[in-house]
Amino acid sequence: MGEGYFLKASTGQIGSFQIISIDWAHPNYGYFTDAMLWYKSPHAMKWKSVPIVNWTEKYENIEAFLKEFPDLEGVF
């Protein structure tokens, strides 16, 4: 993400929903905290985002997100 900023992804399943939590570490804080969620279900054929912090609001689709963070492609 830039110098001192890092992302990590955690995956899980709740019922038929696939959930991916994206957390970020800010260099001034030194710990990971919530950034956004992605989810997919049999009736939601595409990944949908739930932005939590301001900088995640621009990712309206998974392609735009993975273009900036290709290292996370294997998670999806």
On whether the CB atoms of residues 39 and 17 are closer than 8 A, the answer is yes
Report the SS3 class of residue 49: strand
Whose CA is closest to 9, among 60, 58, 57, 56? 56
Greatest Cα pair distance, the chain, in angstroms, is 40
| Per-residue pLDDT tens over the stretch 3-41 | 778 899 999 999 999 999 999 997 877 789 999 999 999
- Pick 29 or 55 by higher pLDDT: 55
Could you state, in order of their start, the residue ranges of all structural domains in the chain?
A: 6-75
Q: What is the pTM of this model?
A: 0.86
Q: How far apart are the C-alpha atoms of 1 and 42, rounded to whole Å?
A: 31
